[in-house]
Structure formats: structure tokens, C-alpha cells
Chain A
């Protein structure tokens, strides 16, 4: 009986496991393998010999890749810190009682389901230098004399540049809703008595935020930071569509560079080595995350 029931269970999970193995786990392993081979589509006559760590040595010697790694971390940090800060603020507001709250809650979710390509297109139009409403407002306010070239200004300060901030802000726009609803849900789970008790004890608004709200939302923020850094490390769409990594690679992140290396330069080996670097970083974060979640339950 027990054995028949277990058989039933395995049959039920089998389709899902097979599909995830075929296009989830196997490709990850195959990608690692590919990064140790010579896999150059223009030199396929030589076959695909094993070359050890050569691809990794090559990409780490390549200034474009080193820049892409730096940019990926920069992009991740800018996006996460902005999105968490804004999300915390908006969630606070949406947690207050006022008319039209339900309507606002729905509105704030809309960018979340806007397709990333459409989001990128819309913002490219908004960032068109001569016709940008932002430039128009900044000019009218007397803050700038020359239009800002949001996506093409190639001057930079270290890794910081205007296109990098422009691209990051589009990602923030697309991802803000998710963060807001997660924080909002945790705010709503805080019992009201906690605030009343704090108020009776003489805590002002800032103290209540510091000693009641923050400790209660901290677990959710920890989860969000983990999930967002995992997805930002492998981000692709917005940068690829808006700038293709330019100008001067200022917005080039590892995902985009790897894609170009493979499908433009036919160097699948180097592309695979780059994504393997992402895999190593994200797998480390993911393992810690999974362990902490399973320990709790």
C-alpha cells in the first residue's frame, strides 16, 4: 500500500521534474562544461577540444568583461537600494487610511506587468534628448542649458555615468511594484496593538518606525534583497534593448556581454564562461537562502 502510494507520488511529480531537468538543470551543467571547451563556431573544424581554464583566463584578461562585472554589481546595488527605499516609502503610504487607496494600490502594480521590452521602448522615447519631457522640465526650471543625452552621453566618473542611471531607473520602474506589495503585506501583518503600546510608552513617530516597523519588516527585506540580487545579477532585457551595452560599454552587464560574445562573435566558449561566473555567484547566494529557509520550517 505504502509502496503503491509512493509510486503514485513519483508519477505525479515526474512530468515537472523531467521538464525542469531537460531545460533547467541539464543546460546549467552543460554550460559549465562548455566553458572548459574550445567552442568557437568559426573554428568548428578543430572540433571542441578541452582547454582547461583558458576561457576563464581569457575573459578575466579582457577589460570589457572586467568592466561588465563591475557594472553588474553597480547595477545590482543601484537597483536594489533604490527599489527597497522607494518601496518602503510607498508601502507606508498605502498602509495609511485614505480615500482612493484601493485605486492607487492597483495603479502601482501596473508597471510590474508591463512587458520589459515595452517598458524599455517607452523609456527610450522619454529619454529621446530633444523630445524628452524631463529635459524640457529641467530646462524650464533653469537647471540645464544643454539637453541631457540620457542614453548616449559617454562621459563617465569611474563606473558611474548618466546612461547607467537611466537604465537602472527603468529597471526600478519595472520592479518597484513587486517590492511594494511584499513590504505592504508585511506591514499589514504588524498587530496594531504594537503601535498603540509604543505610543503609550511615549514613542514618537520616528521611534515607532525605528523600533516597531523596521524590526517587523526586516525579514521580508532580507528576502527581497536576496531575490532581487539574484535576478539583477542575471539581468538582460532592459540593457540589451535600450543601449545594447553602450555607449563605450558603460551599461554593459555580464548577461548582455555574454549574449553578444556568443551570438555576434560566435565565441560560445567565452559566453559560457561568463555565464558560469554568474552561475557561481548566484548559486552561492541561492544555497545560503535555501538552507536558511529549510532550517526555519
Chain B
């Protein structure tokens, strides 16, 4: 039998101390991150009397869904949600279509000007959108697209496109060898059908990530929606929520918090669904570069 030696390990006090410090610190940060969710949830279950109590009460007496039902009647919230859903969905479809078309040729064919075009997208992606709000407002007004869904969708698609192109370009470049297209071309595909029949079907992960990204961009946006589309029933959910609190202040906080929960849930669920793809896409570019 071979005698096994047990390695004698020196206790690394520094390491233990470091782990302890990081852990304490991280727990504090997790409380900072999670407390607002707890506070929102508990508020959405409390009666008017409980929620306005001073000092605040930390736990609701019962888990009633009453205020969620009330929230639906506060303002046309279901209608606002449908508006947001429609606008975000069309944005995601268009953004993914145009983004993958451009991303594909930029990744695969070294045509003249490709690098310049990439730099152009990167530049518009990096500059904060606040620097162009006034002219966008006037452009859409002149095209008679203010207070229309079409106007809002066009705005969202053009704002999400630069990132979509850049990310999909990186995705197509990294995912498969150039021989794949060569084989497809020999087998009788043309450039376009090689893209639609061969490349797109195996690029679902990247496409899901970009579709989710652009959907969330539209769903979460407030600035553009408040500028372009703020008429009555056509409002998106973010503008609707903000206008409600602007008018009503602290009345019916419980129902309002319920509305906040309902607004955040679609975003969270959708993100959870595509989380892996988004995180991979996001980090691939930055970690390598």
C-alpha cells in the first residue's frame, strides 16, 4: 500500500479575514439590492391603514390580491401595458431583422468601408441619447409621426440598432467557420439564401439575446415615450405610471406598488428566459477587447 501523505496546510489568516470581510460586505450589498423588492411587495399587500402607519409596518397582515385588482382600475393600466407590449414586440422584430442582416455581412464579407461602418455604429451607440432629443422630436413632428405608435417604434428601432449590429456581428464572427457559407454556395445557395437558410437557423441564441435586449429597451424606456407619445389612452406603461403618481401623490400607494410589480414582472421573466444568451453576448465583447 502506498502511504498517503496528508498535506499540512498553514492556516491562512489573511485569507480567512478577507473572506470574512467580503462576505459581511456582500451581505450588506445584497440587502441594499433586495430590500426595495421586499418593500414594494409588502406594500402591495397592505391595507390603506397599514401602509400609511407611522412608523412603517414591515409585514402585511394578510396576503390579499385586492390591490392588484384595484391597480388594474387605477388608470387604464391594462391598456397601457398592451400599448407597451405592442410597441416593444414590433421593435424587437424589426431590430433583430435589420440588425442580423447588417451584422452578418459586416462579420463575413470584408467589403470596402466595413470598418468605417462599424466605427459609425459604435460611435452612435456610445453617445448618450439625450444629445439628440430636440431634433428627433422635430423630425417626427415633420413626418407627422408624433403621438403615433409608428413614430415610437421607429425611434426605438433606430436607438437599439447600433448595439444589435455590433453584438450580432461579433456573434456571427465567433460562431462558425467561413467554410460553412462556402459549402452552402457550392450547394446552390446564393448569398441571401445562405444567410436565411443556413446561418440564421443556427444563430438562434444570438438572435434571442438581441430580441430580448431591444424588447426590454422599449419596455423600460421613459424619455422617448414621454416625448413622442403622451396622449391619453395611447401612453406606454412607464409614462402612465409616472403621470399617475404626478397627479395622485400618496393616495393608494398599495395599488400603485402593485402596478409597479406588474410592470417589472414581464421584464424580469423575459430576461430570466434569455439571461444566459444576453450575459454571454455582453461579456464576450468587453472581456476580449
Contact = CB atoms under 8 A, between A and B. Distances in A.
A272 B112 contact: no
Contacts of B98: 15-16, 19
- Residue of B56, B157, B159, B271 ringed by the most chain A CB atoms within 10 A: B56
A8 B192 contact: yes
A22 B128 contact: no
A131 B242 CA distance: 21
Contacts of A31: 131-132, 134-135
Interface of B: 12, 14-15, 17-19, 22-23, 25-26, 29-30, 32-37, 39-40, 43, 51-56, 58, 98-99, 101-102, 104-106, 109, 111-112, 114-115, 117, 119-124, 126-136, 138-139, 154-155, 157-159, 161-162, 165, 191-192, 195, 216, 219-220, 222-223, 238, 241-242, 245, 250, 253, 256-257, 260, 263-264, 267-268, 270-272, 275, 279, 282-283, 286-287, 289
Interface residues of A, number: 103
Contact of A23 (B15, B34, B155, B267): B155
B222 A16 contact: no
B55 A136 contact: yes
A115 interface: yes
Chain B binding surface SS class? helix
Nearest to B126: A286
A26 B139 contact: yes
Interface string A273-297: 0011011001101110110011011
Interface of A: 5-6, 8-10, 12-13, 15-17, 19-20, 22-28, 30-31, 34, 86, 89-90, 92-93, 96, 104, 106-119, 121-126, 128, 130-133, 136, 139, 173, 176, 178, 181-182, 185-186, 189, 204-206, 209, 219-220, 223-224, 227, 230-231, 233-237, 241, 255, 258-259, 262, 268, 271-272, 275-276, 278-279, 282-283, 285-287, 289-290, 293-294, 296-297
